[in-house]
A and B are shown apart, each in its own frame.
Chain A
Amino acid sequence: MRAMSSPRSGFGSGFRFLFEPGFFSSGPVHAALLTGTVVALVSGAVGVFTVLRGQSFAGHSLADLGTLGGSGAFLFGVGPLWGFIAAGVAVGGAMDLASTRRRASRGVATGIVLGAVQGVSALLLYLDTTSGSTTGVTVTVLFGSLFAVSGYTATATLAFALLGLASLAVCYRPLLLDSVSTDLAAARGVRVRLLGLAFMVVMGITVALSSLIVGTILSPALLIGPAATALRLTQSPLAAMGTAAALGALATGLGVLLAYDSYHWKPVGNGWPVSLFVIALLFTAYLLSGLRRPRAGTGPAPATATTEAA
């Protein structure tokens, strides 16, 4: 991007300008790229079902609620990983249990849980700030940094990411069936409530992981953005999941690259937030995918398909 606007010309200098010297030899960058890519892959796959099931709000809320895990972990001095994971699983379960079958009231139930837990996070953050000397906790927890991944966290992240993918593979067919019609799935013997709960837990783990690695702002964007874009580009479920995972990983990689470059950008020479770059890339991809005319079905556009939303 920046290379294009550069007054310098020639491929070699442009390349060197795009990839700042030292980009590939930096240890933190390696860890960030690896964990970021893994998280993006899982988020993309889980995200397709999140968007299909109309649970973007829940996905977003789970990320916000990672705040609870983060602030709680700071307060009690446990590793943030476990705080995030525990909060993700607990809150995902609570949201599923509080919700009803109607989509309309589901949003309200999600919102109520989100509000209550954010209130508690506010308290925990307040206690963090007053009890310790760490005044920057709020900012760290809310806006997390990709460049602070330790070796242990990276390993645990990989393990949890594999767990998330495996769970998704197990539930894959019933989830698809449920996305067509809950009654149809139930009539075939799928325990739809249990399935919903299981999916919320998988989503909770995924979002918690990515909140920890890439921050609570970026994690819902990684969940929803690539998936929403992929739904506009693909025809079959596996293609959608693959495309979403690839898009997420690509945007993360590019974002880390740009952020690394931005250390030399104005106005402050300490780097722009990675999350902003990744989100901007995802948002652009979503907008661009909207320009593509959807492949028309053979029949006339169904009146029933569009009325469901709102």
Chain B
Amino acid sequence: MSAPVISPMSLPAPGPAPDGPARPVLEVEQVSIRLGGRQILDRVGFTLRAGEFTGLIGSNGAGKTTLLRIVLGLRGADGGSVRVGGKPLTRRARGVGYVPQKIQIEHDAPLRARDLVALGLDGERLGPRLPSRDRRDAVARMLEAVDATRFADARVGTLSGGEQQRVLIAHALIARPRLLVMDEPLANLDLRAGQEIVELTSRVAREQGVAVLLSAHDINPLLPVMDKVVYLAEGRAVHGRTDQVVRSEVLSELYRHPISVLRVDGRILVVAGATVRAEAFDAGERDVRADTAARPAGLPEVHAG
């Protein structure tokens, strides 16, 4: 090949094997940042290992996006360190794929889904790019992997939210990153599309051995696929398995405020308030059931604060 293009074929084989499952992909240590006199993040730290699916959970304004931007190298922190694949962050976060929450592309932009995925290979490079069969095949395979072949030739701006997410995931994964960062992918999707995106991400990430860090304000859609959770509140974070973290005493400590975690029909509700009296709980549960039937979304979680 004449152009200095990294063919996807020449990249190291995917899968957790080369690094071993124990090798941390992302190490966040003691990251702190103050913005406008408010402590957004206060000594936040956690570690992600290869192939793990981690949910970054917190209410609006908890600092999820700020934390993700620091991990991506899009902004600096006041203190602490971020290491990707054992190396400190550089301007180009190598080995990190990113799915932004919103893209600014309009419906008339002449960019097909296929073009956007191809940009995932080497979109940051200068100079013209020579077409090649390898590239075309790699793009086609990636589109196939996220079930996007159907709309591969449609303009990105005309696709629905869920379809755009698929294309963006393909764009992020085609360069075979070790870590996939997704900022609120479910925020603008209806429930079914959201569920499909979560399942797809989990499946493709496992196939490729990619660690996923996905931010969301509702923990429930992630429950079936999530290995670990980073729970963000009051600028601080707790990290661990879902059943370790999402507990009344842990979250009460995190929020510095009494919090109750209710498990209803396999869903998790986080509500403000100390001990929930038994009869109130029962009544609440009935109400919750009634409400769940009416709105499959379940109740929105309530945060102190």
Contact = CB atoms under 8 A, between A and B. Distances in A.
The answer to whether A and B touch in the complex, with CB atoms under 8 Å apart, is yes
A52 B126 CA distance: 19
A176 B106 CA distance: 13
B53 interface: no
A234 interface: yes
B291 interface: no
User: What are the 8 A-B residue pairs with the smallest beta carbon separation, nearest first?
Assistant: A189-B92, A297-B158, A299-B160, A240-B110, A177-B123, A188-B124, A298-B151, A187-B98
B154 A298 contact: yes
Interface string B93-114: 1001010101111111111100
A169 B98 contact: no
Given A173-B122, A188-B123, A52 B109 contact: yes
B188 A236 contact: no
A170 interface: yes
Given A52-B109, A191-B91, A305-B157, 7 more contacts: A170-B127, A183-B74, A297-B151, A298-B150, A298-B159, A302-B157, A304-B188
Contacts of B109: 52, 179-180, 231
B154 A297 contact: yes
A190 B91 CA distance: 9
Contact of A306 (B104, B107, B116, B159): B107
Interface string B144-169: 00000011011111111111100000
A8 B125 CA distance: 59
Contact of B164 (A48, A179, A302): A302
18 contacts: A170-B127, A174-B124, A177-B124, A179-B111, A180-B111, A183-B72, A184-B103, A189-B93, A231-B108, A235-B110, A236-B111, A295-B158, A296-B158, A297-B107, A297-B155, A297-B160, A304-B161, A306-B107
A181 B158 contact: no
A1 B280 CA distance: 83
B122 to A, nearest CB: 7
A237 interface: yes
B58 to A, nearest CB: 19
Interface string B59-79: 000000000010011100000
A239 interface: yes
B117 to A, nearest CB: 11
A174 to B, nearest CB: 6
A173 B110 contact: no
A176 B115 contact: yes
B169 to A, nearest CB: 12
Contacts of B124: 173-174, 177, 185, 188-190
A309 B123 contact: no
B119 to A, nearest CB: 5
Identify the interface centre among A230, A234, A235: most chain B CB within 10 Å of its CB. A235
B119 A169 contact: no
B161 A173 contact: no
A230 B110 contact: yes
A86 to B, nearest CB: 26
A300 interface: yes
Question: Chain B: interface residue count, which band?
Answer: 35 or more
A97 to B, nearest CB: 21
Interface of B: 69, 72-74, 91-93, 96, 98, 100, 102-112, 115-116, 119, 122-129, 150-151, 153-164, 188
A294 interface: yes
A177 B154 CA distance: 17
A182 interface: yes
Contacts of A169: 127-128
Given A173-B119, A176-B123, A302-B161, A187 B107 contact: no
Given A169-B128, A304-B161, A308-B106, A187 B74 contact: yes
Contacts of B98: 183-184, 187-188
Contacts of B163: 297-299
A300 B103 contact: no
B153 A185 contact: no
A232 B111 contact: no
B92 A305 contact: no
A222 B118 CA distance: 30
B115 A305 contact: no
A294 B107 contact: yes
Nearest to B127: A170
A172 interface: yes
Interface string A23-61: 000000000000000000000000010001000000000
Contacts of B100: 181, 183-184, 187
Interface in A46-83: 48, 52
Nearest to B193: A299
B215 to A, nearest CB: 14
Contacts of B69: 183
A171 interface: yes
A26 to B, nearest CB: 37
Contacts of A291: none
